[in-house]
Amino acid sequence: QQQVKQSPQSLIVQKGGISIINCAYENTAFDYFPWYQQFPGKGPALLIAIRPDVSEKKEGRFTISFNKSAKQFSLHIMDSQPGDSATYFCAAPKYTNAGKSTFGDGTTLTVKP
């Protein structure tokens, strides 16, 4: 059962452009929404996370936008750089169980120089 749907599957952006990745969730019990970044040969690493009591969170060039009514959240990468080329996963762990996370299928981002 797919509880977190992520799109697009792949994304190609020119250097300096904006990368946007979207996730939609089904379970309203989810209350913590992290994004992970994974480089080839590495495990996923937490990039940025948001809780549903705020609509936006920004850390450097990375911003999460959250729409609770639509049950959607998105990752925006401003001024995308070739070093941002990686696979990005959204996730939705339950409050009482951070270990049991439902991940989106991932978005492979390629930033062209």
Q: Which residues bind other proteins (CB under 8 A)?
A: 31-32, 34, 36, 41-46, 49, 89, 93, 95-106
At its nearest, how many Å lie between other proteins and the CB of residue 81? 23
**In this complex, which beta carbon is closest to other proteins, that of residue 7 or of residue 17?**
7
* DSSP secondary structure, 84-102, as one string: G-EEEEEEEEETTEEEEEE
Parallel/antiparallel/unpaired status of strands 45-50 and 33-38: antiparallel
**In this complex, which beta carbon is closest to other proteins, that of residue 19 or of residue 44?**
44
Q: Give the tokens for residue 10.
A: 């792949």
Dist CA 23 CA 33 (whole Å)? 10
**In this complex, which beta carbon is closest to other proteins, that of residue 13 or of residue 89?**
89
